[in-house]
Amino acid sequence: MKRVTRVTLFLAALLSAGAAFAADSPQQQFVRAWQGRIVTLRWPLYSLVYNERGKLGTTRNGLKEGLMVATPSQGAYLQFDGRQGRSDVVQKDPQQVVTAVNSAYEPDSLDLRSYRKLEAVAINRFEPGIEFIVVAVRVESDQVRVDFGPNGGGAAVTGITIKWPVPLSKTFTERTNVEELIQRFVDIKRP
């Protein structure tokens, strides 16, 4: 009986050590390090304000999505991620984003419903010096998304996507370069 108990305890210790190791992946460490940080903009950031109608006809108004994308090789540009089967909309000029998004989301002649599924309403520009809090961080296969919200709390109002030209490594050796790209746009407020 003692041998079974020892084996059980040993296996339990291995499982908990494995769970602790899995919880400390480099990507998760990065997310924890950035989540909740207070930052000050160094460079203007843009968000698209839009209304979206779902497949069941429900409409969500006043949605906001950060548009800034930075890459290590192609510089920075604005991108609205495609949805509902549409392609991404990429622009360099913020004044062209609303027109480009509305053009990309024109109803198709093959659609059963002739209404617009997505309507771009406006562009919000956030000036250097504005203070934000990091409300969400997502590390995906080839990109890192950092969303900013008002320092007093609330939902994300803008963000930065760092796009990597190849899939990010499992050990996240690109972390320093990713953080340098983020810090081109924001200063981290020291506690």
| pTM exceeds 0.85 for this model | no
Query: With contact defined as beta carbons under 8 Å apart, do 137 and 147 qualify?
Result: yes
* pLDDT reported for residue 83: 87
Residues 57 and 62: their CA atoms lie apart, in Å, by 16
Q: What is the pLDDT of residues 51-64, one digit of tens each?
A: 998 767 688 999 99
In the predicted structure, residue 123 carries a pLDDT above the cut 80: yes
Domain boundaries, the chain: 26-188
Q: What is the pLDDT of residues 104-120, one digit of tens each?
A: 988 776 655 566 689 99
> What's CA 148's distance to the chain center, in Å?
9
* pLDDT reported for residue 59: 87
Count of other CB atoms within 10 angstroms of residue 126: 18
In the predicted structure, residue 15 carries a pLDDT above the cut 60: no
* pLDDT reported for residue 20: 47
Considering only CA atoms, which of 80, 67, 90, 88 is closest in space to residue 158? 67
Q: State the average pLDDT for the chain.
A: 87
Per cent of the chain over pLDDT 70 is 82
* pLDDT reported for residue 53: 85
Residue with the two structure tokens 């991404």: 88
Residues 115 and 128: their CA atoms lie apart, in Å, by 38
In the predicted structure, residue 127 carries a pLDDT above the cut 50: yes
Please compute the mean of the pLDDT values over residues 14-24 and round it to a whole number.
Answer: 54
Residues 170 and 145: their CA atoms lie apart, in Å, by 17
Please compute the mean of the pLDDT values over residues 93-110 and round it to a whole number.
Answer: 88
| Residue 90: strand pairing partners | 79
